[in-house]
Structure 1
Amino acid sequence: MSKQILLAWLGIADLKAASLLPNNVGEPIGDGPILGALKNLSFDELHLLHDQDQQKVTAYLDWLTQSNTIKAVSIPCALRSPIDFGDIHQAVDGYLKNLTGEHPDLDISIHLSPGTPSMTAVSILLGKTKYNTRFVQSTKEKGGEFVTIPFDISAEFVPQLVKRADQKLSELALDHAPTSAAFSDIITQNPDFQRVIRKAEKIAVRNVSALIMGESGTGKELFAKAIHNASQRKGKPFITVNCGAIPKDLIDSALFGHIKGAFTGAISNKTGFFEAADGGTLFLDEFGELPQDAQVRLLRVLQYGEINKVGDSKAQIVDVRVIAATNRNLAQDIAEGRFREDLFYRVAIGVLTLPPLRERSGDLVLLVDHLMTSINREASNQPGYINKKISVKAKNIILSYAWPGNIRELHGTLLRASIWAESDTISEFDIKEAMISRPVNGNKSELPEIGSGLDIQGLLDDIKRQYITKALAQVAGNKKKATTLLGLPNYQTLSNWMDKLNIQE
């Protein structure tokens, strides 16, 4: 029989029941929600989430075990606030993920009564969707009882969420950030990526230059526009410049403008990008492609806030916030003399490093589902349109791939696969055909550089995912044979890994 676990937050009413907090005069407290449930219902262990002082928690457990001999596990959680949905979700999801990963056969019930309404809401969402738990609630009259949540979140609510998120995801996938982009448009459930967003929010409110680094297709322009729209410059110009697309002999004219007659072909005055962005934000994409002579002139603009149009000796004051973006390793370029160190430090005040999609654990499946819904919607008015869905084997191939082109490559692959697929289901063969193969550089290690740090657990998960998928494909989905191929000790280990890595049969 599976071990019975009760997961509960330690709430105010429980602390009052144990006389660890003062009661209001005439307020009936009784046993509190947790002890009330334990008196009526049988569990093997109590797993107690809390953000209170450990001494107070220990005192509560001492009081509790005087009435019930259940084994109790204390789980401290770092919450900025007991109503912070993000912190609560991270705490509950993280704990349940580890718990079910180590012990997949547990029978888990979540107590909904203790804690704040935010804790209850997060518990219902996770218990009804990701972890398939049971639920308990307590009343003073009845004590604890199992309760049924009479709706299906996946069937009734997720489709509406998908509908609202389509446009956001489509724009992110195509790397065309909407003009009204905000941080709420950046869709993720990955804690590391959420921390990057919080850093960007802090940068936004400060009038400083910023440098956004990351591989191609990671959403650098989306972040730049979100920073602009969350700043005091919102509503002012946001000008995007692709530095790598400007011919070298026209860079000065493009950035700073020119006056009539400044050079052959200058038949009229021209406003440069800095002047056009006056009062607002100038987004310099592919910043690392600027030639060195242009870097010198750009440095002066950033230092003194003034420009000189080509052919004009008169300086003009401009108020422009610069946000630069690059997929180059500027530190390496500086070391090799290709990029000015003083310009780098002038721009790199607020620095953001966007992780590639392969390091955004938990986001790939979310993005695949939403992007497919977006692709279906966009193609719905085309002749011969058939709504497409992705097969389980095709999803496993997607999960096993590293996506070096990030979300842009993912979107393009799904779009091609939806075109190639002759039925309403995109098969693993359609996905393989839609993927664009890349030549292997025999002189380059396939392992990523450590740099300023890497997610080694994520890398190990990627390796496991790739080999499990290949093994299952080789033995036509026979998990017993795949277990032998992979050298795993038993069938259950393979099943646990597949659940943890979201590999479907």
Structure 2
Amino acid sequence: MTQNPEMQRILRKAEKIAVRDVPVLILGESGTGKELFAKAIHNASLRVGRPFIPVNCGAIPKDLIDSELFGHIKGAFSGAVGNRIGYFEEADGGTLFLDEFGELPADAQVRLLRVLQSGEISKVGDSKTRNVDVRVIAATNRNLSEEIAEGRFREDLFYRVAVGLITLPPLRERSGDIALLAAHLMDRINQEASNQPGYINKKISVKAKNIILNQVWPGNIRELYGTLLRASIWSEDDLISEMDIQEAMLERPSVTASGELPELGNGIDVQRLLEDIKRKYVLQALKQATGNKKKATELLSLPNYQTLSNWMEKLNIE
């Protein structure tokens, strides 16, 4: 579901990777759909029909990582009142999806590397080992090259997993896909709510769609889905209006918590930042002026009406 040439190229890569039984590393910002992509690779692989086990590495307490991944035997530690199989055993024959892969602490990285190299695991408290047949798909929103350079992530583990390397673009680089994604997500929301009392299928109005198309969506697909879900709840009839969408959007500060502009870091796109600021205030002014461009021009202290029209044309605001 894409019209974006780069995304189409990534999909072709994923199709080739899926049928080869190799580890995969998916990179991308939060909300770009990394888990859905991992599940699609699993479903297109020879392991389809076998377990797909998603694990959020960042949510596992450091002292429980070994137990969660590899299991433990009764009495292995305080609180181990029985034997427990780990995620690797659960995924045996299938796929283990390690989300937030970059959050793993250094000692856990060493043990994971050993398992990936040998295909053997041992439960906490057990001297015995057993073989597991698991395909690992990992994902992270971190820049692992920087993490490696700063000594926070093992280079050998990175290369072990990054055989099939896929980088998902953020939604702001897939502007041509936003309408397609919005329609798909709306269908999904309608389907999920179909058995709820009194629910009626919702459609997105033309004006609401224009607002959606003019947003940057820093939270990517996850943010778009959340906005549409809220709008479907607020909407009082079967058509989601522009007001429903505006009310469903989360306010985002344009500056940091300290009141400063974003840090330069490794570089920022100043032009995009300026366009984002312009878009935000033009939309806000039009909303406050209830669509009256003359009033919106005054609110923005622009020299004339034509300047506002030029801005709107450049920013694709209707």
TM-score interval (norm. to shorter): 0.7 to 0.9
Q: Tell me, in whole angstroms, the C-alpha distance in 1 between the residues paired with 2:170 and 2:206.
A: 24
Q: Which residue is 2:113 aligned to?
A: 299
Please state how far the C-alpha of 1:430 moved relative to its aligned partner: 2.3
Q: Tell me, in whole angstroms, the C-alpha distance in 1 between the residues paired with 2:69 and 2:211.
A: 45
Tell me: CA distance 1:229–1:383, structure 2 relative to 1, closer, same or farther (3 Å).
closer
Q: Which residue is 1:476 aligned to?
A: 291
Q: Which residue is 1:244 aligned to?
A: 58
Match of 2:162 among 339, 348, 358: 348
The 3-state SS of whatever aligns with 1:288 is helix
Q: Tell me, in whole angstroms, the C-alpha distance in 2 between the residues paired with 1:444 and 1:463.
A: 12
Please state how far the C-alpha of 1:215 moved relative to its aligned partner: 1.6
Match of 2:80 among 263, 266, 274: 266
1:243 and 1:285 in contact (8 A); partners too: yes
Superposed CA deviations along residues 173-193 of structure 1, whole A, max 9, x for unmatched, are: xxxxxxxxxxxxxx2222111
Superposed CA deviations along residues 70-92 of structure 1, whole A, max 9, x for unmatched, are: xxxxxxxxxxxxxxxxxxxxxxx
The size of the alignment, in residue pairs, is 306
Is 2:13 the partner of 1:199? yes
Q: Tell me, in whole angstroms, the C-alpha distance in 1 between the residues paired with 2:94 and 2:152.
A: 29
The 3-state SS of whatever aligns with 1:249 is helix
Tell me: CA distance 1:371–1:226, structure 2 relative to 1, closer, same or farther (3 Å).
closer
Give the letter for the 1:252 counterpart.
D
Tell me: CA distance 1:450–1:194, structure 2 relative to 1, closer, same or farther (3 Å).
farther
Tell me: CA distance 1:448–1:368, structure 2 relative to 1, closer, same or farther (3 Å).
farther
Structure whose alpha-carbon radius of gyration is higher? 1
Please state how far the C-alpha of 1:387 moved relative to its aligned partner: 4.6
Q: Which residue is 1:16 aligned to?
A: none
2:175 and 2:213 in contact (8 A); partners too: no
Q: Tell me, in whole angstroms, the C-alpha distance in 2 between the residues paired with 1:328 and 1:349.
A: 18
Is 2:132 the partner of 1:315? no
Tell me: CA distance 1:382–1:314, structure 2 relative to 1, closer, same or farther (3 Å).
closer
Matches within 5 A, 1:376-387: 376-387=190-201
Please state how far the C-alpha of 1:231 moved relative to its aligned partner: 2.3
Q: Tell me, in whole angstroms, the C-alpha distance in 1 between the residues paired with 2:217 and 2:264.
A: 14
Q: Tell me, in whole angstroms, the C-alpha distance in 2 between the residues paired with 1:449 and 1:220.
A: 24
The 3-state SS of whatever aligns with 1:284 is strand
Matches within 5 A, 1:26-65: none
1:262 and 1:311 in contact (8 A); partners too: yes
Q: Which has the higher contact order (CA 8 A, sep 6+)?
A: 2
Give the letter for the 1:410 counterpart.
L
Q: Which residue is 1:63 aligned to?
A: none
Please state how far the C-alpha of 1:421 moved relative to its aligned partner: 2.9
Matches within 5 A, 1:178-197: 187-197=1-11
Match of 1:445 among 247, 258, 262: 262
The 3-state SS of whatever aligns with 1:322 is strand
Superposed CA deviations along residues 138-189 of structure 1, whole A, max 9, x for unmatched, are: xxxxxxxxxxxxxxxxxxxxxxxxxxxxxxxxxxxxxxxxxxxxxxxxx222
Is 2:147 the partner of 1:333? yes
Please state how far the C-alpha of 1:383 moved relative to its aligned partner: 4.3
Q: Tell me, in whole angstroms, the C-alpha distance in 1 between the residues paired with 2:120 and 2:240.
A: 55
The 3-state SS of whatever aligns with 1:362 is helix
Match of 2:70 among 249, 252, 256: 256
Is 2:255 the partner of 1:433? no
Please state how far the C-alpha of 1:263 moved relative to its aligned partner: 1.8
Tell me: CA distance 1:426–1:477, structure 2 relative to 1, closer, same or farther (3 Å).
farther
Is 2:176 the partner of 1:359? no
Q: Which residue is 2:100 aligned to?
A: 286
Please state how far the C-alpha of 1:391 moved relative to its aligned partner: 3.5
Q: Tell me, in whole angstroms, the C-alpha distance in 2 between the residues paired with 1:384 and 1:446.
A: 48
Please state how far the C-alpha of 1:364 moved relative to its aligned partner: 0.8
Tell me: CA distance 1:375–1:312, structure 2 relative to 1, closer, same or farther (3 Å).
closer
Tell me: CA distance 1:322–1:450, structure 2 relative to 1, closer, same or farther (3 Å).
farther
Q: Tell me, in whole angstroms, the C-alpha distance in 1 between the residues paired with 2:149 and 2:271.
A: 30
Superposed CA deviations along residues 76-113 of structure 1, whole A, max 9, x for unmatched, are: xxxxxxxxxxxxxxxxxxxxxxxxxxxxxxxxxxxxxx
Tell me: CA distance 1:447–1:365, structure 2 relative to 1, closer, same or farther (3 Å).
farther
1:396 and 1:469 in contact (8 A); partners too: no
Tell me: CA distance 1:392–1:463, structure 2 relative to 1, closer, same or farther (3 Å).
farther
Give the letter for the 1:476 counterpart.
G
Q: Tell me, in whole angstroms, the C-alpha distance in 1 between the residues paired with 2:272 and 2:12.
A: 22
Q: Tell me, in whole angstroms, the C-alpha distance in 2 between the residues paired with 1:190 and 1:447.
A: 29
1:259 and 1:310 in contact (8 A); partners too: yes
1:256 and 1:310 in contact (8 A); partners too: yes
Please state how far the C-alpha of 1:351 moved relative to its aligned partner: 0.8
Superposed CA deviations along residues 198-252 of structure 1, whole A, max 9, x for unmatched, are: 1111212222211001122211112212222222323333222111121211111
Give the letter for the 2:169 counterpart.
P
Superposed CA deviations along residues 363-397 of structure 1, whole A, max 9, x for unmatched, are: 11122233334434544554454554434332222
Structure 2, gaps ≥5 residues long: 298-303
Q: Tell me, in whole angstroms, the C-alpha distance in 1 between the residues paired with 2:290 and 2:60.
A: 53
Give the letter for the 1:346 counterpart.
R
Please state how far the C-alpha of 1:256 moved relative to its aligned partner: 1.1
Match of 2:27 among 213, 218, 232: 213
Q: Tell me, in whole angstroms, the C-alpha distance in 1 between the residues paired with 2:211 and 2:136.
A: 40
The 3-state SS of whatever aligns with 1:260 is coil
Is 2:233 the partner of 1:411? no
